[in-house]
Structure 1
Amino acid sequence: MPDETRAVPRLTLVLGGARSGKSAHAEWLVSAQAGPWLYVATAQGWDDEMRERIALHRARRPPPWETVDAPRDLAGAIRRAPPGRPVLVDCLTLWLTNAMLDEEADLAAEVADLLAACAAAPGPLVLVSNEVGFGIVPENALARRFRDEAGRLHQRLATLADRVVLVVAGLPMTIKGETQ
């Protein structure tokens, strides 16, 4: 039975730092809706440490969660979601990293496609992303470009979003829209 006190608006953006609790909060939001729920994962298990992180995330999501891996075609995964099904995307900064490291990618076109898919999502959509703009200025050009691209992506998504939540130390703070 859905929890009316945790109704998910059409588009929610959940931001936070590493290990802030943002993914757990997003899962909590989505799980209040009638399942099954769709989890769109953008991570790739390139090494043992990342494979372990992915396994821990998957173990936290028993059925009725369905997982779709979309490290690159995030817009397509959102568009293919069954109408009305709550969708959680985790996380945008991993997707952005994957796109930036793909030398063939047209990042501006992919971001525009993602924004269009989010605006037309067929059901409640919760997006998780790392807020990377609170730290020091990165030392190298690629890291600075990543920080800047992430900041611009977050601003554009926040404009589209009905709700934006910042999670710090496991505490969600609603910075746009109604509190949950």
Structure 2
Amino acid sequence: MPTDSCRSGTVILVTGPARSGKSEWAETLAQQSQKPVVYVATAQRDPTDEEWQQRIARHQQRRPGQWQTREVPRALSQCLEEGECGECLLVDSLGTWLANCLELEDEAWLSMEKQFLSQVKQTQADLILVAEETGWGVVPAYPLGRTFRDRLGNLIRHVGAIADPVYLVTGGYALNLKVLGTPLTPNL
């Protein structure tokens, strides 16, 4: 719970398609915060997947050496709760976190999502949340793919209602949707 001397931190959402520059933009924003940065990695390591290990390594090489890293594949709400006043938590990414929890039944997922959104509003640290945009194309052929797409779309919409600013990164450009867009009221 925030104290009088430290209110809830700033919440920034960075979203966009694959390879658009989301992570790089989020890292730039974290550096600009001039606060100690904690990089919250939601990816799970898989030593049998060489390409995945290379992706993780590229992300690690881009980050400044003084940044702390926390690997948090599932307990994201607890990690945000531990965020401290005066630090910046960069969470990369919400889509990967959701994928790690995809086996949850709808009711359990909705409870986890509600807890996460509540913690986003309460954390004392500044938050930069990276999320993948899905659903701009073909409807997934399989139920699990549709569940992922729908859950992530809803999550991003709810986080977008909380965050300010909200950036859409596409084609190597970051657009502040809170300045350019008209908000819709999410059904929370």
Measured in 1, the distance between the counterparts of 2:175 and 2:153 equals: 19
Partners of 2:179 and 2:85 in 1: CA distance = 23
> Which residue matches 1:11?
11
Query: SS of the residue aligned with 1:176?
Result: helix
- Tell me the alpha carbon deviations over residues 129-148 of structure 1, each in whole angstroms, 9 at most, x when there is no partner: 00002121111110011100
2:131 alignment partner in structure 1: 129
Cα distance in 1 for residues equivalent to 2:173 and 2:43: 24
Give the Cα separation in 2 of the matches to 1:155 and 1:149.
Answer: 10
Counterpart of 1:83 in 2: which secondary structure?
A: coil
Please list every run of at least 4 consecutive aligned residues from structure 1 whose deviation after the TM superposition is greater than 3 angstroms. none
Aligned to 2:117: 115
Instruction: After TM superposition, give the deviation of residue 62 of structure 1 in Å.
Output: 2.2
Partner deviation per Cα, 1:74-113 (whole Å, 9 max, x = no partner): 111111122220111000000000011357x921111111
C-alpha separation between the residues in 1 aligned to 2:127 and 2:61? 22
Flag structure 2 segments of 5+ consecutive residues without an equivalent.
1-8, 181-188
Query: Which position in structure 1 is the counterpart of 2:4?
Result: none
Say yes or no: does 1:62 pair with 2:64.
yes
Other-structure match for 1:45 = 45
CA distance in 2, matches of 1:133, 1:139: 12
TM-score with structure 2 length normalisation? 0.85
Structure-1-length-normalised TM-score: 0.89
1:62-83 CA-partner distances (Å, limit 9, x unpaired): 2221110000001111111222
Task: Tell me if structure 1 keeps the 8 A contact 2:35–2:86.
Answer: no
Is 2:16 the partner of 1:25?
A: no
**Shift of the alpha carbon at 1:123?**
2.0
**Which 5+ residue runs of structure 1 have no aligned equivalent?**
1-8
C-alpha distance in 2 between matches for 1:84 and 1:135: 40
Q: How many residues align?
A: 170
Amino acid at match of 1:22: K
